[in-house]
Amino acid sequence: MTASLADLAKRITDIVPLKPPVDPASLKHRELVEMPDYRRIPAYKDVSEEQFLDHHWQAKRSITRPDKLLEALKGLVSADFIKDATEGFSHAPMSVRVSPYLMSLIDWNDPYGDPLRTQFIPLRSRMLPDHPKLGLDSLHEREDAPVPGLTHRYVDKALFLPLDTCPVYCRFCTRSYAVGVDTEEVEKTHFKVDEERWARAFAYIASRPELEDIVVSGGDAYNLRAEQITRIGEALLSIPHVERIRLATKGPAVMPQKLLTDHEWFDAVTRVVELGRSLQKEVVIHTHFNHPNEITGITRKAMQRLFERGITVRNQSVMQRNVNDTPEVMRLLVKRLGHVHVHPYYVYVHDLVKGTEDLRTTVATAINVEKHVRGSTAGFNTPTFVVDAPGGGGKRDAHSFEHYNRTTGVSVYQAPSVKPGQFFVYFDPIDRLCEEGRTRWADPAQHQVMIDEAIAAAQAGMR
Quote the number of domains for the chain: 3
User: How do residues 227-248 score in pLDDT, each as one tens digit?
Assistant: 999 999 999 999 999 999 999 9
Inside any domain, residue 330: yes
323 and 196 fall within a common domain: yes
Question: Which has more confidence, 462 or 287?
Answer: 287
pLDDT at 187: 46
Whether residue 450 is found in the same domain as residue 387: no
pLDDT tens digits for 308-331? 999 999 999 999 999 999 999 999
Q: Is residue 460 part of a domain?
A: yes
- The predicted pLDDT at position 2 comes to 59
**Which residue among 60, 93, 126 closes a domain?**
126
Q: Is 26 inside a domain boundary?
A: no
Q: Does residue 274 share a domain with residue 174?
A: yes
- Average pLDDT value for residue range 355-377: 96
Task: Verify that 173 and 215 share a domain, yes or no.
Answer: yes
Considering 351, 377, 399, which residue would you say is the last residue of a domain?
399
The pLDDT score that the predictor gives to residue 376 is: 93
Query: How many Cβ atoms are within 10 Å of 263's Cβ, its own excluded?
Result: 11
Domain assignment of residue 77, yes or no: yes
The reply to whether 276 and 393 lie within a common domain is: yes
CB-count exposure of residue 208 (10 Å: 0-12, 13-18, 19+):
middle
Judgement on whether residues 392 and 411 belong to the same structural domain of the protein: no
Show the domain range for 111.
Answer: 38-126
Q: What is the pLDDT of residue 68?
A: 85
Q: Which of 370, 399, 428 is the last residue of a domain?
A: 399
pTM: 0.91
Residue 20 lies in a domain: no
Determine the average pLDDT of the residues in 97-124: 94
Average pLDDT score over residue span 298-310? 98
- Residue 9 is assigned to a structural domain of this protein: no
> Based on the domain organization, do 418 and 322 belong to the same domain?
no
Quote the pLDDT of residue 183: 45
Element (H, E) at 305: helix 297-308
Mean model confidence pLDDT for the chain: 91
Is 215 within a domain?
A: yes
- Encode pLDDT of 114-138 as tens digits: 999 999 999 999 999 999 998 756 5
Looking at residue 378, what DSSP letter applies?
-
Q: Which is it for the CA torsion 74, 80, 85, 87, positive or negative?
A: positive
C-alpha dist (Å) from residue 138 to 10, 203, 211, 217, 432: 61, 27, 24, 18, 20
- Mark whether 87 and 174 lie in a shared domain: no
Q: What are the C-alpha distances in Å from 306 to residues 66, 143, 213, 259, 273?
A: 34, 36, 21, 8, 11
Mean pLDDT, rounded, for 3-24: 70
Mapped onto helix, strand or coil, the DSSP state of residue 205 is helix
Instruction: Give the CATH number for residue 371.
Output: 3.20.20.70
Residues 354 and 230 reside in one and the same domain: yes
Q: What is the pLDDT of residue 138?
A: 56
> In the sheet where 403-405 sits, what is the strand order?
403-405, 410-414, 423-427
- For residues 67 and 151, membership in a common domain is answered with no
Domain assignment present for residue 265? The answer is yes
Do 226 and 165 share a structural domain? yes
Does residue 180 have a pLDDT over 80?
no
On whether both 268 and 249 belong to a single domain, the answer is yes
Instruction: Select from 59, 65, 72, 66 the least CA-distant residue to 84.
Output: 66
pLDDT-derived band at 175 (thresholds 50, 70, 90) equals low
